Structure 1
């Protein structure tokens, strides 16, 4: 399971970074990658929660 959780953590961190780049830069590549910014505005919060849950699960 450790490998699975590290893969999920990496994927979530990359997605979070892509969202931030789209929001901060407005670069067309990142906007197309993440989609409609108004629909994903809560995703960073959900990503943070998911990362916390993965960490809790991995620690137990």
Structure 2
């Protein structure tokens, strides 16, 4: 049985770090998307995919 995720059970410094990451993930995705369009490399594409998945996880409150 899976435990429910409760963000208030985390230490305060983890909650603050999570909030900071949540604020900066969308601008990083936009920057990386533009960079990938201009200079596409395999690393840039994979990094963009990871950033987008992180942004979706933050928006759906899975992290």
TM-score interval, smaller chain: 0.3 to 0.5
Higher relative contact order (CA 8 A, sep 6+): 1
| TM-score using structure 2 length | 0.43
Larger radius of gyration: 2
| TM-score using structure 1 length | 0.44
